């Protein structure tokens, strides 16, 4: 494949720690190491990669920065919980026009999330529903308690995505729900009430395994969010 | 906001270079530095962040690993072309079931890309179309030349996404077209012919500013890809 040739060419230009980091990544993939597994120690890696321990240490730092590895003090180096997945992976924070970003994100969300809610209603099992109810209640508790609910709001949307049992959707939703945080200041009382009502309506439809109702409830919820944004 | 409070708490636990990296990120955002802009030098950053130059150097390394900065030898440190955006940001390479991943990605693509092609047909300007035609031809040249076309195939789909003028869509498409690379081995002759015909049909519809035709052509193209995958 051209892309892997390209990688090889690029690699020879890269500093040694970057190359070692790529090789460690490949090792993780080849050995099917997953979240929480321990990485072989520095000595083994140095011997395996034919590099010095200093290079291994630099490579591990790079992979920590990329959220592939995590260091637990006194315990060793482990595969991260969601290896390779970082906050704001598309660099949204670096875009200049944050208002357009918010509206463009909502456009994508309105296309994607009603569909996701529909699949969630069709596929959610009892275990999924327990988590969904819990996350729905947490948002309500935050709002009633006068505490910022945005983190739990995002988690609620992610838990809906997880009901689909699709590998990709739960990874995409956290990225596009970046918009939730952008307009935190917007959360006046009316949008807070809508959040509670909207989230409950989505939950009820998913519990009833009614894809059309779930889809419609999600669409309605996101449209109301968009209206609120447009009113600024 | 709770999330920023959380960040502060987390920061005090973090090693000094990580904290400095976060502060440099914030500086880039606050000063609206963009791709190709030069970062202030080590001395300035050390003074500004009240840390040593060694810490600044470590922080810069972390930000290079996260693709926020790039070092040009002898010239200095610059903001990366797509700051914060990395290859495979969702860590797809680390998922064990790559076949399910490919099918789940196609499910998302079939939901998203026909819609994207429709908006592209509505919004593409002359400048967009020039790039689109060029990228469409490149895929054909690769295929006729017996060269791997996957990299250019991905670029073609991204250039369609750029026609939408939505800030988010062109950043999402490269991620979900990760599936293109997954099934490189699949590219038998019939799928290659379909790629040429399918891509041309999408281009023709976008050039004609016909959203429905563009949408239908994209859907057909992706469905044929899915059928090929399911046949394995």
Give the number of A-B residue pairs with CB atoms closer than 8 Å. 148
pLDDT at residue number B94: 73
pLDDT at residue number A137: 97
B79 phi, psi to nearest 5 deg? -70, 135
Chain A residues whose beta carbon lies within 8 Å of the beta carbon of residue B83: 91, 94
Chain A residues whose beta carbon lies within 8 Å of the beta carbon of residue B68: 91, 94
A54 and B47 in contact (C-beta within 8 Å)?
Answer: no
**Cβ within 8 Å, pair B94-A83:** yes
pLDDT at residue number B73: 84
| Closest approach of A57 to chain B, Cα-based (Å) | 13
Sign of CA dihedral A145, A147, A152, A156: positive
Average pLDDT value over all residues in chain A = 85
Provide the pLDDT confidence category of residue A134 given band limits of 50, 70 and 90. Answer: very high
**Cβ within 8 Å, pair A169-B104:** yes
pLDDT at residue number A120: 98
**Nearest CA-CA partner of B39 in B56, B15, B16:** B56
Burial label, B187 (beta-carbon count in 10 A; 0-12, 13-18, 19+): middle
Asked if the model's pLDDT at residue A11 lies above 50, the reply is: no
Provide the pLDDT confidence category of residue A104 given band limits of 50, 70 and 90. Answer: very high
pLDDT digits (tens, 9 = 90+) for A67-103: 788 888 888 899 988 776 666 777 777 777 888 888 8
Give mean pLDDT, residues A145-162.
90
**Nearest CA-CA partner of A169 in B147, B111, B93, B199:** B111
ipTM of model? 0.73
Of residues B21, B93, B147, nearest to A29 (C-beta): B93
Q: Which of A113-127, A168-182, B57-71 is predicted most confidently?
A: A113-127
pLDDT at residue number A6: 29
Chain B residues whose beta carbon lies within 8 Å of the beta carbon of residue A2: 147-148, 150-151
pLDDT at residue number B181: 60
| Pairing, β B76-79 against β B69-72 | antiparallel
Tell me how crowded residue B44 is: count the other CB atoms within 10 A of its CB. Answer: 11
- DSSP element (H, E) containing B46: helix B42-49
pLDDT digits (tens, 9 = 90+) for A24-72: 988 887 888 888 899 999 999 999 899 999 999 989 988 887 778 888 8
Chain B residues whose beta carbon lies within 8 Å of the beta carbon of residue A82: 91
Residue of B63, B103, B148, B168 best to disrupt the A interface, most CBs of A under 10 A: B168
A198 and A217 in contact (C-beta within 8 Å)?
Answer: yes
pLDDT at residue number B179: 62
- Residues in chain B predicted with pLDDT less than 70, given as ranges, are 1-13, 84-87, 179-189
Q: How far apart are CA B140 and CA B134, in angstroms?
A: 10
pLDDT at residue number A35: 84
Tell me how crowded residue A210 is: count the other CB atoms within 10 A of its CB. Answer: 16
A212 and A118 in contact (C-beta within 8 Å)?
Answer: yes
Asked if the model's pLDDT at residue A202 lies above 90, the reply is: yes
pLDDT at residue number A231: 79
A10 vs B127, higher pLDDT: B127
pLDDT at residue number A117: 98
């Amino acid at each position: 494949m051209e892309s892997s040739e390209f990688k090889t060419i690029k690699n020879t230009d890269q500093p040694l720690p970057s190359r070692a980091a790529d090789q460690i990544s490949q090792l993780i993939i080849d050995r099917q190491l997953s979240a929480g597994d321990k990485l072989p120690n520095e000595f083994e890696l140095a011997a395996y990669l034919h590099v010095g321990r200093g290079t291994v240490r630099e490579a591990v730092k790079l992979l920590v920065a990329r959220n592939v590895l995590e260091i637990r003090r006194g315990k060793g180096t482990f595969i991260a919980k969601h290896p390779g997945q970082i906050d704001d992976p598309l660099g949204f924070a670096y875009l200049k026009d944050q208002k357009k970003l918010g509206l463009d994100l909502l456009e994508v969300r309105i296309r994607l999330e009603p569909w996701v809610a529909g699949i969630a209603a069709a596929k959610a099992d009892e275990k999924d529903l327990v988590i969904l109810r819990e996350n729905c209640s947490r948002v309500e508790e935050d709002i009633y308690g006068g505490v910022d609910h945005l983190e739990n709001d995002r988690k609620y949307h992610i838990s809906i995505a997880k009901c689909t049992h699709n590998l990709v959707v739960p990874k995409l939703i956290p990225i596009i729900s970046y918009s939730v945080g952008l307009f935190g200041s917007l959360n006046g009382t009316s949008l807070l009430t809508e959040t509670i009502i909207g989230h409950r309506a989505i939950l009820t439809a998913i519990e009833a395994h009614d894809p059309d109702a779930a889809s419609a409830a999600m669409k309605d919820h996101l449209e109301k969010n968009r209206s609120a944004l447009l009113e600024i």
